[in-house]
């Protein structure tokens, strides 16, 4: 299964993981903007990365 992770480099923390089947890029960006805007506003480096998980 493929997932897209929202990860904050400053907090060293994964903020969310989303199945790309249900969440496309626009949706992820929307989530980032509304749910994790605190990190962005603090100037944190938030990245979106793809991960592949077995099972």
Report in angstroms how near the CB of residue 1 gets to Zn ion at its nearest.
26
Task: Identify whether the C-beta of residue 6 lies closer than 8 Å to the C-beta of residue 45.
Answer: no
Comparing CB distances to Zn ion, the nearer of 22 and 34 is 34
Comparing CB distances to Zn ion, the nearer of 1 and 40 is 40
Contact set with Zn ion (CB under 5 A): 8, 10-11, 39, 44
The H-or-E segment that residue 17 falls in is strand 13-19
Q: Give the C-alpha separation, 14 to 28, whole Å.
A: 14
Report in angstroms how near the CB of residue 14 gets to Zn ion at its nearest.
11
């Amino acid at each position: 299964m493929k997932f897209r992770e929202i990860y904050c480099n400053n907090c060293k923390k994964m903020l969310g993981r989303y199945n790309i089947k249900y969440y496309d890029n626009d949706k992820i960006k929307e989530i980032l903007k509304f749910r994790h805007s605190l990190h962005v506003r603090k100037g944190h480096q938030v990245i979106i990365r793809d991960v592949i998980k077995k099972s």
